[in-house]
Chains A and B, each alone.
Chain A
Amino acid sequence: MSLWARSTQHAGAPRTGVSVNRRLSLLVLSELVTAALIVVAAAVALARLEGERAYMDRYVFAPLLDIGEAQVAGNELRDLLLPGRSEEEVATRARPALLRLRAFTERYQRDWETGISSLPEAKRLRAELERQGELKLLEKEHEAVGGTVHAVHAMELTTGMDGQAPAEPPLRGRDVAALDDGLVELNLVNLRYVQIGYRAFERIHRLITTSFIVISLGGIVAAGLLGFAVRQAIAPRVRRMLEAVQRFRERGAYERIEDEGDDDLTVLAHTLGLSFRSIAERDKERERFLAVAAHELKTPLTTLKGFAQVALAHREDPVLRERALAVLDRQSTRLARLVQDLLWSARAEAGQLPFHPGPVDLQVLARQVIGEVRLLCGAREFQLDSCADPHILGDSSLLEQSLWNLIVQAATLAPDRDPVQIGIEGSMTRVRLTVAARSRAEVPDDLDELIQPFQAPPFESRSDGLRSTGLGLHLVQEIARLHGARFEIERRPGPAVVSCLEFRR
């Protein structure tokens, strides 16, 4: 099992033991074994059939041909019994046939007489005769051979082949008949041998055929069972994944895909689960962003709508009308900034924040932003201290929004009427812009929380009406990243919170 798969298993969860990899390996192995068995069986069968063919040729069919030739010689001797030949001619013409017959009887006794031969083929035929209950054929063969040998020997004597004078007559009819009888009997016995040999061949043929059928069927059954096992290991789990995909499409909610195996499907299920979770979390984040954005937009809208009604309803009251218009102006500025923050945050999330770099004077930019913020909160003091060359290369619109967000955030955190200090310092290679203010007690311990979208504490109870949008510092971070600048927030004695943007020249 891979470390990854092991690490993703839930503690205490039951193991299903349905490893696709293992079952597929078994399936492939069974196919290989089946193929190997078929190849081996085919080789054995071919060798066996070749052996059978050679045995039949050499030991079963060959004697029949010799017996046939011996019968031809016997026929020649019978022809010599016909009248009209001299005794000398008969004796002379009988000798070649008798020589062939003697050679036949000697060869037959040496090679083919099954009852006494020590050849492996003879032993095999004897075993087959015993198997088929035909051992009496051996006796018949022996008698037929004996009769033939005796007849040939008698004719050799009467024809004078032993050096004596031929007898009168030199060829006797009873000897030729005895020779015929012996050869016919021998022929019949050998035909029975052919029959028995062929039965044995058929039995072997059936054995080979059966073996092939058994091996093939065994392979098919094994492959079928293992294929079914593989399917059982795959199908339910794939179905669970498909159902999870379907549920995710319908509900958009992440549900863990249960799969406790240890194979590639488990990896796939967990990857799918992680993807679903990632998509669901992103959707949830987007929904949360939209909900908070709607909330943030509706709050200034309420005061805009209400004070517009107040201004319309109290046309004859210049003080109230003036106050309503001032609130309208401030809230519309705040709303514009919020909308800008929302749009740029959305573009930053998509990696499409517009970036048009050019020369920027941070001191001039800071003065401009401070002037705008003062319009909203005249009572707040802003101190700008620049002791370095304030020129950098950057996008003035983005940097202006960053400065606005930093200054408003600092003013939001600071107690009423506490000054906000903006500093520009640096060296030949770097410019450091700091925005510092004393902080109230509600600042979170982890200052990075201030950078998270809409995570900043809602300090709306400003007497000066300032309020961070909740997106400001997150956007500052994105803008800093785009400029290759470093952005950090520090806590300093005071207690003060200092936001710092460090640019490279």
Chain B
Amino acid sequence: MRRDHVLIIDDDADLRELVAIGLADAHLTCVEAAGCVEALPLLDRDRARLRAVLLDYFMPGPSPAACARAILERVDPGVPVVLVSAAVDIAERAAELGLTRYLAKPFDLVQLHAVVSEVETG
């Protein structure tokens, strides 16, 4: 099965819409969740098709650490979980959550494509 789904977890509806439009240009399907709680069932549902997960840092609900841990438990090995944030120290925050990839805001569509294109799985 082709991995062509990208899960965006962000409480900013405009940003989710932007990511969806941007990924559609790259012939990828965007799955949207406004928070961590909402995202977990989607992870279970689309696990086999997930290419990447884009995760915001500041969101209502569980703490970023708990959210990242729950996501990492649910994704297949090799599927990157990318921290997307406007935080100044995004690299430190990503390391804090046990994530190796991050995308700093503001980003453009080219950078978005690059993040999801780096991983060519399955």
Contact = CB atoms under 8 A, between A and B. Distances in A.
A391 interface: no
Interface residues of A, number: 32
Nearest to B85: A295
Given A306-B22, A310-B22, A457-B60, A327 B106 contact: no
A303 B109 contact: no
B15 interface: yes
Contact of A295 (B15, B17, B88): B88
Nearest to A299: B86
Max count, chain B CB within 10 A of own CB: residue among A294, A298, A462: A298
Contacts of A297: 86
A302 B22 contact: no
Contacts of A291: 87-88
A461 B60 contact: yes
Contacts of B64: none
Nearest to B38: A461
Nearest to B12: A460
Q: SS class of chain B's interface: helix, strand, loop or mixed?
A: loop
A2 interface: no
B58 A458 contact: yes
Interface string A285-309: 0000001001111110111111101
Interface string B19-49: 0011001000000001100000000000000
Nearest to A459: B60
A393 interface: no
A295 B104 CA distance: 10
A316 interface: no
A307 B20 CA distance: 11
Contacts of B25: 313
Given A295-B86, A458-B59, A303 B12 contact: yes
Nearest to B59: A458
Given A309-B108, A309-B109, A320 B21 contact: yes
A352 interface: no
B13 A305 contact: no
Contacts of B86: 294-299, 302
Contacts of B14: 303, 307, 327, 330-331, 465
A306 B88 contact: no
A298 B58 contact: no
Contacts of A7: none
Given A303-B18, A305-B108, A310-B21, A461 B35 contact: yes
B88 A294 contact: yes
B18 A310 contact: yes
Contacts of B107: 302, 305-306
B76 interface: no
B113 to A, nearest CB: 11
B88 A310 contact: no
Contacts of A429: none
B107 to A, nearest CB: 6
A164 interface: no
Contacts of B17: 323, 327
B74 interface: no
B87 A295 contact: yes
Contacts of A465: 13-14
Interface in B80-107: 85-88, 105-107
Q: SS class of chain A's interface: helix, strand, loop or mixed?
A: helix
B64 to A, nearest CB: 12
A93 B55 CA distance: 148
Given A461-B60, A462-B13, A465-B13, A302 B106 contact: yes
Given A458-B11, A459-B11, A462-B13, A305 B60 contact: no
A319 B17 CA distance: 14
Contact of B12 (A299, A320, A457): A299
Contacts of B106: 298, 301-302, 304-305
A457 B10 CA distance: 14
Given A294-B88, A299-B86, A313-B25, A307 B11 contact: no
A298 B15 CA distance: 12
A463 interface: yes
Nearest to B15: A303
Contact of B13 (A298, A301, A306, A463): A463
Contacts of B59: 458, 460
Interface in A389-426: none
A178 to B, nearest CB: 126
Contacts of A331: 14
Given A299-B105, A302-B86, A306-B108, A461 B34 contact: yes
Nearest to A331: B14
A420 B67 CA distance: 32
B62 to A, nearest CB: 13
Given A295-B88, A460-B59, A467-B12, 15 more contacts: A295-B58, A298-B86, A298-B105, A299-B12, A302-B86, A303-B18, A304-B106, A305-B106, A307-B18, A313-B109, A323-B17, A330-B14, A458-B60, A461-B13, A461-B60
25 contacts: A295-B58, A295-B85, A295-B86, A295-B87, A296-B86, A299-B105, A301-B105, A302-B86, A302-B106, A302-B107, A303-B14, A303-B18, A305-B106, A305-B107, A306-B22, A306-B108, A307-B18, A310-B22, A320-B21, A331-B14, A458-B58, A460-B10, A460-B12, A461-B60, A463-B13
Interface of A: 291, 294-299, 301-307, 309-310, 313, 320, 323, 327, 330-331, 442, 457-463, 465, 467
Interface of B: 10-15, 17-18, 21-22, 25, 34-35, 58-60, 85-88, 105-109, 112
The 10 closest A-B pairs by CB, nearest first: A298-B86, A461-B11, A461-B34, A302-B106, A460-B11, A306-B18, A301-B106, A295-B86, A460-B12, A302-B105
